[in-house]
Amino acid sequence: MKEILKNSSIIFIFAAVFALVYPDLAGFLEPCLIPAIITLMAFSLTEIDLQKLDVKANLKPIIMALCLNYAFLSGLTLAGAFLLLEDTTLLKGFIVMAATPPAVGIVAFSTLLKGDTKLALMANASIYILSIFIMPAILILFLGNAINPLEILQILLGLIGLPLIISRIIPRIPHYEQVKEDRNIVINLGFFVVIYVIVGLNHDVLLNEYRLLIPVAIIGIIRTFFACTAVFSIGRVLNMPLDRNIIYALFGSYKNLGITATVALLLFGTRATIPSAVCILFEVLMFPYFSMLIKRQRLIFS
């Protein structure tokens, strides 16, 4: 049972399927969304030692990861949203997604895929710190008077700043070393709540409003499968070392959709979380797809 709870792919898929089959608990669990995000973020960041991050020596690859996530992926997301969507609430959901930092799961994925985990750690930590300034800037740029800058700052301090502080405290808890191997269970359970609530709240739309979902799904496919394949393929053409190419592809295709959904929900209501609900389903499927791409490259060059 413990091994199942540690398997992110199984937990993510089960949460999405369970929400589609039995969404009745989503409304009841909605108040748990923010605590779940804070908990999974805090435990995800515990292994990052900010004092040992040699950012200066790895500045170029960190800037590359930042550009891939905030210029390439955010730009792709916004371009698709502005071109394909007429619904302003859905558009706001995608703008929030573009403003959101990369997924915290990138570090775990890099380990599983045998990527440059050290770079993933440094880049993710650096980008999360910068995102406290980048995210409000993007939201204000595209949404203007539709948002309150102070409210945005308050939300970000709660969803990013607070987990960073808590992550410094958790390792100091007595007996943490004995149980830290099981921290992925806590992270996965947090993701389970997030995915279940977001998909569950949008259950009726996801199963019935096909015309509405078609452009959202197209944008979702572009910003996950197409983005990942494009970055990974360009890296191969440029003879990028595989372990680093894996990291760049992850930063070029994964956003923190938990934060996206929470911010969209707090600012614009349930409908604005539809882009997150759809893209969560695609990101769940992205990991096995990307694993296949990497395996194929390793077979070619072995």
Q: Which residue has the higher pLDDT, 76 or 283?
A: 76
Report the mean per-residue pLDDT for the chain. 87
Dist. CA 138–CA 155, nearest whole Å:
15
- Cβ neighbourhood burial of 17 (10 Å; 0-12, 13-18, 19+): middle
8 A C-beta contact, residue 289 and residue 9 = no
> Quick one: what percent of the chain has pLDDT higher than 70?
95
In order of 41, 294, 295, 300, the CA distances from 273 in angstroms are: 19, 31, 34, 41
* pLDDT confidence bin for 71, thresholds 50/70/90: very high
Q: Which residue has the higher pLDDT, 144 or 90?
A: 90
pLDDT reading at 136 higher than 70: yes
pLDDT, position 178: 66
Q: Does domain 33-47+55-301 have CATH number 1.20.1530.20?
A: yes
Phi-psi region of 275 (alpha: psi -120 to 50; beta: other; left: phi over 0): alpha
Dist. CA 284–CA 252, nearest whole Å:
16
pLDDT reading at 255 higher than 90: yes
Q: Supply the DSSP symbol for 42.
A: H
pLDDT, position 9: 74
pLDDT, position 92: 95
**Sign of the dihedral defined by the CA atoms of residues 78, 220, 25, 193, in that order:** negative
Q: Where are the domains of the chain?
A: 33-47+55-301
Question: Which amino acid does the sequence have at 258?
Answer: G
Dist. CA 71–CA 86, nearest whole Å:
23
pLDDT digits (tens, 9 = 90+) for 140-190: 999 987 777 788 888 888 888 888 888 888 888 887 776 677 777 888 888
Dist. CA 157–CA 177, nearest whole Å:
28
The encoded tokens of residue 244 equal 């680093």
Q: Which residue has the higher pLDDT, 111 or 82?
A: 82
Most confident segment among 65-79, 113-127, 163-177: 65-79
